[in-house]
Structures are given as structure tokens and as C-alpha cells.
């Protein structure tokens, strides 16, 4: 694990797809004797910083875990404040994304969100639909188990309708039905806040991802911290079941 604030440029391999569990907003706020929502508001600056670094370094896809399917269990006041912040951020940030050629996609089950927020999501995606640069995925009311289940149901419906041979369903078929089916699988998963788990995030997709854990709370995970994570990734050897010697011979 690296928590360095070293400002060295990243010179090695850059991950195509980075996925981040943005953890520690509430704890950041509590340390400052602030309400939890203050931490979420402060976390918006970290989102901007991470987007800037990833876009500059050539990351193709950045997925941010904004609100899990389990987060509905939090206090109603906090959930309501998060929904307001999400709506505000969509309105305020989407034009900046478009101006920087970043396309926004929101993944997850939108059915539980207020219709006003659902419309804002659709409008934001439409506004950036022509962008050709980095793809920004926001996981909202998302859970990895839900994602796998909805993909399995989709395949089952096609099989029942005679459109698909159930015995011929492949790993690739399953991946195509996941929320991230149009994007490369994550190469690097980052979690801030000091926890060492993936908390029902992209369960299928992270099968071969490199994991990076930072003790920094999310509002403190800014430009240098993101560069450190990318630098750590560049030093790793990804074997995908092969030996180090085999990988070295292929490179």
C-alpha cells in the first residue's frame, strides 16, 4: 500500500479501467465535529481531482461507487441529503464533463430514485453522449449481487424464449449482460478509508483486478494520492494464472 504524496509522473503501464470505492466521508466529518453530509460535500473535490488525474494519464474508464444498494439502510436524513447532493452535483458538474470531453454513464437500479433525480440522470447522460474522451461511470443504487442477478435473469429470459441455448451460455455472454458490459473489465480497484473489502462492488468484474487500499479518507484522496495509486499499479506484474517466467517471455 502506498499513501505517498510524491508528485512523480506515472511512467509505467496505465490501467484502462479504474474502479474506486469512495469510503471515509462520514469519518472525515466526525474527526472535524461536522455532520456526515459535510464529508460527502467535501468528497466532491476529491472526485474532481481523481477525474482530472485519470483523464490526464490516459485511463479510458473510471467507475466511482457513489451509492450502494445497502446505503438505503442509513439514517433517512443522511440518505435525503445524499440525494440532494447527487442532484446538485449532476446539475453543476455535467457541463464541465462535457467541456472536457468526458462521457457520463450511470449504472445501477434507478427505479428506487425519485423521478426528478431519474430525469436528471438521463439528461446528464444525454448531454455528454457525444463525448469521445474518458468514460465516467457512476454506480448509484448499485450492488454486485444485484448486477449478477439481473444479468442472469436477462440470459434466462432469452433462453426461455428460444433466443439462446442455455447450455451454450459463456462467460463472455454473462459479462455482456452486466451493467459494465460495454466497457473493459477493471484493471485496478481502489478503496479509501482504511477498510480492506470490496463491499458488494463489481463482484464479477473484479475477478482479476489489482486491489489498492489507502488509509486516507475519501475527501483527502486528491491528485497526489491518485498518482501514487497509478504508480503502484505500474509496478505490478499481472499474471492471470500464468507464471512470472511466462509473462516475462511474452512481454
Residues serving a catalytic function are 23, 71
CA distance linking residue 244 with residue 193, whole number of Å: 32
Compute the C-alpha angle 15/16/21, nearest 5°. 70
Phi and psi at 107, nearest 5°, equal -110, 150
Residue 87 buriedness (CB in 10 A; 0-12 / 13-18 / 19+) = middle
Whether residue 53 contacts residue 229, with contact meaning beta carbons closer than 8 Å, is answered with no
CA distance linking residue 14 with residue 31, whole number of Å: 34
Residue reference for cell 442472469: 152
Residue reference for cell 472536457: 100
Of the candidates 251, 223, 246, which has an alpha carbon nearest to the alpha carbon of residue 45? 223
CA distance linking residue 124 with residue 128, whole number of Å: 7
Amino acid at each position: 500500500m502506498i499513501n505517498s504524496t510524491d508528485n512523480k509522473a506515472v511512467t509505467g503501464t496505465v490501467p484502462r479501467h479504474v474502479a474506486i470505492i469512495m469510503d471515509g466521508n462520514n469519518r472525515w466529518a466526525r474527526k472535524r465535529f461536522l455532520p456526515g453530509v459535510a464529508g460527502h460535500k467535501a468528497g466532491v473535490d476529491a472526485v474532481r481531482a481523481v477525474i482530472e488525474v485519470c483523464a490526464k494519464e490516459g485511463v479510458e474508464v473510471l467507475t466511482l461507487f457513489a451509492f450502494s444498494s445497502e446505503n438505503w439502510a442509513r439514517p433517512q436524513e443522511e440518505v435525503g441529503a445524499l440525494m440532494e447532493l447527487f442532484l446538485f452535483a449532476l446539475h453543476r458538474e455535467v457541463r464541465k464533463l462535457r467541456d472536457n470531453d468526458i462521457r457520463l454513464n450511470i449504472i445501477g437500479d434507478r427505479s428506487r430514485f425519485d423521478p426528478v433525480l431519474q430525469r436528471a440522470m438521463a439528461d446528464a447522460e444525454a448531454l455528454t453522449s457525444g463525448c469521445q474522451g474518458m468514460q465516467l461511470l457512476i454506480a448509484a443504487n448499485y450492488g454486485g449481487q444485484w448486477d449478477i442477478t439481473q444479468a442472469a435473469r436477462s440470459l434466462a429470459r432469452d433462453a426461455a424464449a428460444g433466443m439462446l441455448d442455455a447450455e451454450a451460455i459463456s462467460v463472455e455472454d454473462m459479462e455482456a449482460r452486466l451493467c459494465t458490459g460495454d466497457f473493459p473489465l477493471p484493471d485496478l480497484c481502489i478503496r479509501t478509508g482504511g477498510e480492506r473489502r470490496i463491499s458488494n462492488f463489481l463482484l464479477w468484474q473484479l475477478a482479476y483486478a489489482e486491489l489498492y487500499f489507502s488509509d486516507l479518507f475519501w475527501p483527502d484522496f486528491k491528485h497526489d494520492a491518485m498518482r501514487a495509486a497509478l504508480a503502484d499499479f505500474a509496478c505490478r506484474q499481472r499474471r492471470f494464472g500464468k507464471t512470472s517466467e511466462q509473462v516475462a517471455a511474452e512481454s
